[in-house]
Structure formats: C-alpha cells, structure tokens
Chains A and B, each alone.
Chain A
Amino acid sequence: MEQTFTILIDERWCKGCKLCYIHCPTQALRIAERFSPRGIHPPELALVERCNGCRLCELLCPDFAITVSEEVAVHG
C-alpha cells in the first residue's frame, strides 16, 4: 500500500524563511501565492505523491511550525 503524508503548517509561527522549500529533497513543497495572517507567503505541500515523509522540513524548521504526519488511508 502506498503511504501518503500530510504537512501541517502552523501559520502563527511560520516566518516564511523558505528553508523547508529549499531543502526538500523531492521538491514536493511550493511557496503559496496567498498571504498568511503574518503577511508572508507560507509553504504548502504541492505534490502529495512526491512527499516520502522524510521529515527533513520538520526537523529543519527553526520555528517548530511544520509537522509531517502520515495520512491514514480510507478503504471502500
């Protein structure tokens, strides 16, 4: 079964430094067009199928703003 992952971004804490976007080994992230309440462009998961859940973005985020979690597949 293919595993899929979701990336939760805490927009209160994200400063928009783009470190996650720069370091993502599979280039699964992109910088959103919209603004967050802090007035920056937050990162978002663009290509869900490319994310392999390595958690590098979560470990590298200087502001504890990213959490990678495994998505539970729904059968039926």
Chain B
Amino acid sequence: MSTLLKPKTAAELRDLYVRQEMMPTIFCDGCGLGNVLNYTLWALDELQVDLNQVVFVSGIGCSSRLSGYVNSDGMHTTHGRALSFASGIKAANPNLTVIVFTGDGDGAGIGGNHLLHTIRRNMDLTVILVNNFIYGMTGGQSAPTTPIGGISSTTPYGNVEYAMDICALAMALEAPYVARWTVNQPYPPIKSIAQGIAKRGFALIEMLVPCPTAYGGRNGLKGVERIWQWYRDNTVLLDDFEHIMEFGTHEEQEEIKHKIKVGVLQDSERECFDEQWAKLVERVKL
C-alpha cells in the first residue's frame, strides 16, 4: 500500500461503487454515516480490491443501512447478529473480504456477546463499528456507550450508568487491529480502514459519528456545526496524549485527561481462525 493517498474523485467513486438508485442516503443533515461510507469506499479503492470478492454484512440500525448502498454482495441481517453471519461467510469461503458495518447499539449492546466471541475466535473480518452514543433509528434510547449524564429518551434526567469503551474491550481480548477515529478528518480513517482490511485477523475500527437528531438536540449540541465541533474539542490523538502525559504541564494534563483517545490503539499479529482451521484440517486428515 502506498503511503501517499491519491483518492479518486467523488464522482468516479460513486459511479464505481454505489448503487445509484438507492441514493441519496436516508441519513439526516449533519450525520457522519455518509462519511463512513465514503471513507470505506476510498479505502477499498486504495487497496484495489475486486468488488466481486467483497461481502458487506450489517445488522439493524442507521449504520447498518450502509451495506445497502454499496454495489456488491451483502447481507442485512438480524439485530446484533451481523458478526455471526459474517463469521459464517468467512468460514465457508475464506477468500472473501468480509466487511461488517455495525452500530454501538447493534454491535456492543444487543450483539455484545457476539462481539466478544468473534474477537476471541479472531475471525478475519473488518468491523467498522459506528458509535454515535445512542440508539438513533429507534428513537434515541440510551445505549451502552451513552456517556454518564447523557440525556436520551429512556434517560430523560441524565444517564447514571458508565459508558462502555468498546476499543478497550477489543484490546483486552487481544484483537490484532484496534483503531478509533472521528469523521472530522478524512485521511486518517481512510488509511486506517485500508490497514484494517489488509490485516489478517480481526480488525475493529470504531468511528465516532455525530448524531445531531437523536443525541445532539437533547444534549445541548443542536445544529450541525456545534455537534461536529464537540468531536473536535473532546478527542485527542493518541500520540499527543502520550506526549502531553509525559512532558506536558499539570494544566495541560488535566485538560486532556478525560478526552476520548483517537488513533491506532493496537496493531499486532495473531493467527486467525482460517489459519488455525487449515492447520487442524492438515493435522487430522487421513
């Protein structure tokens, strides 16, 4: 993979990869889900992957509609079970590139157990987990990722439960590739998604996506500009975080302490399910 990204134009990209009759997307003004789709397609283009060898799998929710916009084979499955379907596809045909679009409610809430065991099994999947802090499509109920004090339709006086850190969970289960990005900057996520697809083994890319309709409006972030700015103000690059924690002043350290860390959080090698399975078949065959 080249280090210098030279993306195709948006017009070329949509002619190649997008189902024209499905466009424009159903997403609200200021939603970052369209950006996640763009970045994924740019990453696929960067890797020059044959679209006939790619399968998109998704569950239920706003984020899970993304698979329907791509002009390749895909599955829109039951709520939270996208990873199980994807594991089945990968186990049946290990040559396919399987990309899963899932949301925080779908992947970490309802399908939380599937997430745990798919990471543990180390299936060769690329999971793009879109975190918007809320169940957006069903009317803004609180999700496992809703920050403490966050107002949703089921927590009208503020959430009292601690939020789940999906990346920390994946790192604890030793997923080979874990990254978290905001949609504000285009190039780092494009490069990261491309790395995730190229990685042998489970790759989790958590995308922090603004939801101005279900989350922003209730939490004092009304309007596209304010909620997008919130993500700029409340995230810190992992490299900057480590640098400031080591060399920064006390005030600087206090300022970034509670911010969300973005960047490539884990990048290691681990034998994936297909390789283990192929070895087993080799060992026990008559």
Partner of B228, one of A13, A16, A22: A22
Q: How far is the CA of A65 from the CA of B9 in the complex (A)?
A: 10
Chain B: which residue is nearest A66 at the CB level? Answer: B10
Would B24 and A61 count as touching, CB distance under 8 A? no
Whether A59 touches B186, Cβ cut-off 8 Å, given contacts A19-B228, A67-B10, is yes
How many residue pairs link A and B with beta carbons under 8 A? The number is 65
Q: 1/0 contact trace for B4-27 toward A, CB 8 Å?
A: 000101110110001000011101
CA distance A24 to B73 in the complex (A): 35
* A46: Cβ under 8 A from any B Cβ: no
Given A13-B24, A22-B225 in contact, is the A62-B31 Cβ separation under 8 Å? yes
Interface residues on A, range: 20 to 34
Asked if B228 and A63 make an inter-chain contact with CB atoms under 8 angstroms apart, the answer reads no
| Complex CA–CA separation, A66 to B186 (angstroms) | 15
Q: Does chain A have a CB within 8 A of B260?
A: no
**Partner pick for A17 among B10, B29, B186, CB 8 A cutoff:** B29
Please give, as numbers and ranges, the residues of chain B lying within 8 Å of A68 by CB-CB distance: 9
Q: Which residues of A contact B27 (CB under 8 A)?
A: 62
Contact among A15, A18, A59 with B38 in the assembled complex (CB-CB below 8 Å): A59
Mask for A32-76, Cβ within 8 A of B = 1, else 0?
000000000000000000000001101111111111110000000
A58 to B29, CA, bound (A): 16
**Interface: B136 (CB within 8 A):** no
A13 to chain B: closest residue by CB: B24
Residues A12 and B24 in contact, CB atoms below 8 Å apart: yes
Query: Taking CB as reference atom, which chain A residue is nearest B225?
Result: A22
Write the residues of chain A forming the contact surface with B, with a CB cutoff of 8 angstroms: 8, 10, 12-13, 15-19, 22-23, 55-56, 58-69
In the complex, what residues of A have CB within 8 A of residue B224's CB? 17-19, 22
Which single residue of chain A is at the shortest CB-CB distance from B30?
Answer: A17
B266: Cβ under 8 A from any A Cβ: no
Residues of A contacting B25 with CB < 8 Å?
A: 62-63
B235 in the interface, Cβ–Cβ < 8 Å?
no
The answer to whether the Cβ of B80 comes within 8 Å of any Cβ in the partner chain is no
Bound-state CA distance A58–B7 (Å) is: 10
**B208 interface residue (CB < 8 Å to A):** no
Complex Cα–Cα for A58 and B30 (A): 15
- Taking CB atoms, residues of chain A closer than 8 Å to B29 are 15-18
Residues in chain B near residue A12, CB distance under 8 A: 24
Residues of B within 8 A of A55 (CB): 7
Q: Whole-angstrom distance from the CB of B46 to the nearest CB of chain A? A: 13
| Least CB distance, A72 to chain B, in whole angstroms | 15
Bound-state Cα–Cα, A69 to B2, Å: 23
- Residues from chain A with a CB closer than 8 A to the CB of B35 are 60, 62
| B9 touching A63, Cβ below 8 Å | no
Is B61 located at the chain interface by the 8 A CB criterion? no
Q: Which of B13, B24, B42, B186 has the most CB of A within 10 A?
A: B24
* Closest partner residue, chain A, to B9 (CB atom): A67
Query: B7 near A19 (CB under 8 angstroms)?
Result: no
Do B33 and A62 touch across chains, with their CB atoms under 8 A apart?
Answer: yes
The answer to whether A62 and B38 touch (CB under 8 A), given A67-B9, A69-B9, is yes
B227 CB to closest chain A CB, in angstroms? 11
